[in-house]
């Protein structure tokens, strides 16, 4: 195999691994507590996960994890606006409502009630 062919093949394998890692995260967000546990669950080192994600997604694994948690949280609120902050926290892989508050405040400058109100407002506007 020529060197160029090997690079192409190696890149496609790496891309598949990166995609697989993110797919695993999407399907198991409730059980993933950190980037370390994400890497451990898929059987690779944290460093290798970082290299894969950074190379193919151009962001860090912690950014992917935070973004997916927020997207999942928004979907939960849209499906059930009465979901409690504790239940929502557990469903996105956080320990409790305090962890949810810290996560939202530090990563996105918002809080659970604000997200819920925004979702309700958008839902009501969509009904008109």
- DSSP characters over 80-118: -TT--HHHHHHHTT-SSHHHHHHHHHHHHS--HHHHHHH
CATH of the domain at 108: 1.10.10.60
**Cα separations in angstroms, 75 against 7, 15, 42, 67, 81:** 39, 27, 25, 12, 10
Contact 59, 123 (CB under 8 A): no
Structural domain of 70: 3-127
pLDDT per residue of the chain (128 residues) written in tens, 0 to 9: 444 433 444 567 888 899 999 999 999 999 999 999 999 999 999 999 999 999 999 999 999 999 999 999 999 998 998 899 999 999 999 999 999 999 999 999 999 999 999 888 887 777 64
* Predicted TM-score (pTM) of this structure: 0.84
Question: How many domains are there within the chain?
Answer: 1
Please state, in angstroms and rounded to a whole number, the distance separating the CA atoms of residues 68 and 62: 10
């Amino acid at each position: 195999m020529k060197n160029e062919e090997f690079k192409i093949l190696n890149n496609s394998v790496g891309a598949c691994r990166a995609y697989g890692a993110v797919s695993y995260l999407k399907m198991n967000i409730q059980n993933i507590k950190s980037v370390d546990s994400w890497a451990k669950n898929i059987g690779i080192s944290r460093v290798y996960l970082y290299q894969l994600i950074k190379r193919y997604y151009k962001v860090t694994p912690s950014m992917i994890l935070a973004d997916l948690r927020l997207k999942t949280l928004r979907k939960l609120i849209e499906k059930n606006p009465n979901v409690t902050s504790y239940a929502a926290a557990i469903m996105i892989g956080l320990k409790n409502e305090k962890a949810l508050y810290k996560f939202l405040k530090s990563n996105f400058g918002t809080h659970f009630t604000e997200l819920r109100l925004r979702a309700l407002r958008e839902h009501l506007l969509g009904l008109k």
